[in-house]
Amino acid sequence: MTIRCESLPKRDAYVLLASVIVPRPIALVTTLSPGGVVNAAPFSFFNALCSEPPMVMLSVDRRRSERKDTARNILERREFVVNVVSERIAESMNLCSGDYPPEVSEIPIAGFTTAPSEIVGVPRIAESLVQLECTLEQHLTIGRAPNDLFLGAIHVFHVADEIIESGMVKAHALKAVGRLSGSEYCTSTEIFTMERPKIGPGP
């Protein structure tokens, strides 16, 4: 089957794209509103960008043509925290995806507790095994919808002691959850290894 994008309605394009680019890591993003409300929302259009400096990208779509709380808060404060989603907080993460009004914090709804950050003013989710303190490096408006694309510089990694060894997080201990399509998710506990080929110098 060949599908031309110009003939796809917005919803159909989203469904197809979300089912092809899988699994996607999930960023449970905490932000702080001007009134001091801690917002927590999950996004799977998220990934690492570079390592020097460490940076991530986060794409936030709009709801009824209006910016979501996360996007508004990042633009206001220019900082946010990415809380990595593992199996043990997956259900609580899902509770944060509801369409709550701006004055309602998802933290108590999901049963989370917060911890203060070191660099940014936005709190972290204590139950997450990895949290990334970020400041806004660049904001772009992309697509016709449109989406708000945020490039964030990571200033602090918070990693639970029991999941890190020799500077590397152990995947089998983190048990990160990935996003598929629709209501489907996946785990990262089935792990296999492949060594990169060793190519010698040319003649």
Q: Are 178 and 189 in contact (CB under 8 A)?
A: no
Answer whether residue 203 shows pLDDT above 70.
no
For the residues 51-73, what does the mean pLDDT come to? 95
> Which tens digit of pLDDT belongs to each residue from 137-186?
999 999 988 999 999 999 999 999 999 999 999 999 999 999 999 999 99
CATH number of the CATH domain containing 111 = 2.30.110.10
Residue 94 lies in a domain: yes
> Whole-structure pTM over 0.85, yes or no?
yes
Answer whether residue 22 shows pLDDT above 80.
yes
Mean pLDDT score of the chain: 95
Q: Which domain holds residue 138?
A: 24-187
Residue 10 lies in a domain: no
Q: Are 29 and 80 in contact (CB under 8 A)?
A: yes
| Number of structural domains in the chain | 1
Residue 150 lies in a domain: yes
Judging by beta carbons within 10 Å of its beta carbon (0-12, 13-18, 19+), is residue 94 exposed, middle or buried?
middle
Residue 181 lies in a domain: yes
